[in-house]
Every structure is written in structure tokens, then in C-alpha cells.
Amino acid sequence: MTKRIRKAVLPVAGLGTRFLPATKAVPKEMLTVVDRPIIQYVVDEARAAGIEHIVFVTGRNKHVIEDHFDIAYELEETLNTRGKEEALGLLEKFRPEAGTTSFTRQQAPLGLGHAVWCARDLIGNEPFAVLLPDMVMKSEPGCLAQMVQTYEAHGGNVISVEEVPWDQTHKYGVVVKGDTFADGSFPITGMVEKPAQGTAPSNLYINGRYILQPEIFDLLEKQEKGAGGEIQLTDAMLSLMQQQNFFGVEFKGDTYDCGSKAGFLMANIAFALENEELSEEIRPLLQKLLG
């Protein structure tokens, strides 16, 4: 029997340097894709996968994320007085219930591994999900829900992967893949962070969604600084792989890396074109611009 995945960690303490100056005062997770901040898409994906409690690992200048998931009392009172029920309903729909979110500060951006470790007390001794909030996924069911199916079948640790062209593998964390099971998932026997051109063990890159067993925290605690002088999650996962099973699941859907300008713009276009009203308005401009 596998323990249910009830909690998720969303690390949001990064500096977002690729998006400066936009992210000088506004966290990158609060940049909007069409009509909602990036982070809202990821929280919705987690909740749709059955996550009951979300731990945000934040940093300085990130308090607006906390405000976004709280009641905006004055705004909501004003909307109420003015009879703006639709707007009020929207706010309610996207707000997690009181007591289902926690916020802890990373204090210093020492790396993704360190950010996840900061959530150890709030997660406790149970398996949990990690979702990188700048990776926005578009699929039904969501990426984490697809992973939960694999976790329920095989247990252990589960990583979501996607194909990239072989000549792009040097930009990503890439997995070593075992033989595929009947359900399409497969064992992962290794991973390499940004392999040199021509040396990648596969063209399957880790796309920012993980289900991990709590033993990862002890390993993160002992973890030395790795690539870039940061405490890397990949290094701790490689150590955990010596003791526990890891499984890969190929994500069926579209991923937008909203931490990069191109990915962010593509997400906006893709989500806007999916909205009937917006699509009608922007399509002629897109066609004109593309000549």
C-alpha cells in the first residue's frame, strides 16, 4: 500500500534574474499568463491531483504570493457592495481553503535542493510532491495527476519527463531510462544535469514535477554544494536512488517554461488562443504579424 500524496512543495525563492527588470519588485511567479499569475496554474494543477496542503518556500519580496492566496478583504467587500457576484465567485474559486497553505522562507537562495529541504518540518514523514512553479503545464488530466497514477501503481519516487531534441539535451537534467512497463512508465536508474553535447544518456528531460519520499530530507541536509555553488535536488535524488526505486512517466501535454521569456510568451499565446473570446480578438493580429 502506498501512502497517499497529500502535500506539495512549491519553491518560489529564486531570484528570477532571467526576467529582470520585470522581476525586480514583482516575483516571477506573479507575472500573468492571460488573466492569472503563473503560480495559480501550478496551485490548480496540484489541487486537481488531490493535494490538500501546499507549502510555499518563499524569500524576500515574495509576500504578494501570500496575499494572492488570502482573502482580499477590502476588495471583496467592495465587490460585494456593488453586486459584482461573478468577480467574487472567481476569487473564491481560485482561493485555497484556510489552513491548507503554509509559507516558510528560504532566507538565502542556496539552490533548489536547499529550498525543498526548508519544507522538511512542514512535510514531515510522508511522501510529497514538488512542483516548480515556473513550469506551466497544459493538459487534462494535469501533469501531477498523471504522475500520481504511476505512483499508485509502483510506489517509490516518481519523476515526470519529456522528450527534447537530442541536440538540446545539454540544457537540461536528463534521465537514464530502464525498460518500459506495460503502463508506459519505466525505472529511472540515473540522471545527469546538463550533459555535455553528445553524451546524454537519453533525450528525456526532467520537466519540474517530482514525487519524493521523505528520506530525501536527510540526504539534502548532508548535501554539499554542487553545480553553480547551489545545493542541487538532483544530487540528493541520485543518492536516494541507491536506496529506493525511481520511476519515470512521460508527460502527455504541453509544457511552458515561464522562467524564460520565450516560454512565458508562448504560454500567453497558447492559453489566449484556447479562450474563445480572446482567440477571436488576437488571431487577426497574429496572422498580420506573421505576414
Residues 242-261 that bind ligand UTP (CB under 6 A): 259
Determine, following the binding rule CB under 6 A, whether residue 16 of this chain makes contact with ligand UTP. Answer: yes
28 touches 14 (CB < 8 A):
yes
Stretch that binds ligand UTP, among 75-83, 102-110, 163-171, 184-192 (CB under 6 A): 102-110
Interface pick for ligand UTP out of 39, 55, 57, 191 (rule CB under 6 A): 57
∠54-57-61 over CA atoms, to 5°? Answer: 120
191 touches 173 (CB < 8 A):
yes
Of 207 and 213, nearer to ligand UTP (C-beta) is 207
For the CB of residue 279, give the shortest distance to ligand UTP in the complex, in Å.
29
Determine, following the binding rule CB under 6 A, whether residue 14 of this chain makes contact with ligand UTP. Answer: yes
Q: What is the DSSP string of 163-193?
A: E--GGGGGGSEEEEE-PPPTTS-EEEEEEEE
Interface pick for ligand UTP out of 6, 18, 53, 170 (rule CB under 6 A): 18
Q: How many amino acids of this chain bind ligand UTP (CB under 6 A)?
A: 21
Burial of residue 200 (CB within 10 Å: 0-12, 13-18, 19+) is buried
Residues 145-204 that bind ligand UTP (CB under 6 A): none
∠174-55-93 over CA atoms, to 5°? Answer: 105
What is d(CA 104, CA 131) in angstroms, rounded to the nearest whole number?
Answer: 16
For the CB of residue 14, give the shortest distance to ligand UTP in the complex, in Å.
2
Determine, following the binding rule CB under 6 A, whether residue 15 of this chain makes contact with ligand UTP. Answer: yes
From 167, 170, 240, 166, select the one nearest 210 (Cα to Cα): 240
What is the bridge-based pairing of β-strands 186-193 and 173-177? antiparallel
How crowded is residue 174: how many other Cβ atoms within 10 Å of its Cβ? 24
Interface pick for ligand UTP out of 106, 160, 203, 255 (rule CB under 6 A): 106
51 touches 5 (CB < 8 A):
yes
Stretch that binds ligand UTP, among 10-18, 119-127, 155-163, 274-282 (CB under 6 A): 10-18
Of 39 and 158, nearer to ligand UTP (C-beta) is 39
Stretch that binds ligand UTP, among 128-136, 140-148, 186-194, 214-222 (CB under 6 A): 128-136
For the CB of residue 286, give the shortest distance to ligand UTP in the complex, in Å.
27
Strand partners, 247: 158, 187
What is the bridge-based pairing of β-strands 101-105 and 128-131? unpaired
Interface pick for ligand UTP out of 34, 52, 102, 109 (rule CB under 6 A): 109
Interface pick for ligand UTP out of 46, 49, 130, 132 (rule CB under 6 A): 132
Interface pick for ligand UTP out of 45, 134, 162, 235 (rule CB under 6 A): 134
Of 111 and 156, nearer to ligand UTP (C-beta) is 111
For the CB of residue 281, give the shortest distance to ligand UTP in the complex, in Å.
31
Grid cell 518560489 in the structure block, residue = 12
From 79, 54, 57, select the one nearest 69 (Cα to Cα): 54
User: Which position's Cβ is nearest ligand UTP?
Assistant: 14
46 touches 56 (CB < 8 A):
no
Interface residues with ligand UTP (CB under 6 A) are 11-19, 57, 106, 109-112, 114-115, 132-134, 259
